[in-house]
Amino acid sequence: MNVLFVCAGGMSSAIVVKALKEEGKKHGQDLHVHAIGSNEVAEEINNNWDVCMVAPQIRHRFKQINQQATEAGVPCEAIPPQAYTPMGGPLLYKTLNELVE
C-alpha cells in the first residue's frame, strides 16, 4: 500500500513512518510511506497514492489538504495525536486500515 504522509516539512515524520512500517510488517503488509511537506501536496497527490495522512501539527491545514486529496480520489485523514509517536504504530496502523475500508 502506498501511503502519503503530510507534515510541516516532510522530515519530522521519520520516526512515525518507521513505526507504521514496522506495524505493517507485523501484519504481513509491506507499506510504502513517503513523507512530504504541506507545500508539496498539489504536485505529489496524483502520484498513485492509496491514502493521504495528515500530521497533527498541521491540522489547521487539513481542510485544504483533504480537498486536494478528494479531488485526486485519494482518501485522506488526520493522524490522531496519540498515534504520532514512536509508540503509536498500532493506533496509526488501525487508523490507516479504517481509512482504506
Q: What are the structural domains, with CATH classification, of the chain?
A: 2-100 (3.40.50.2300)
CA angle 30, 35, 41 (to 5 degrees): 120
Q: What tens digit of pLDDT does each residue of 12-69 get?
A: 678 889 999 999 999 999 999 999 999 999 999 999 999 999 999 999 999 999 999 9
Q: Can you give the pTM of this predicted structure?
A: 0.90
End-to-end CA distance of the chain: give it in Å, rounded.
Answer: 13
8 against 12, higher pLDDT: 8
Judged against a pLDDT cut of 80, whether residue 11 lies above it is answered with: no
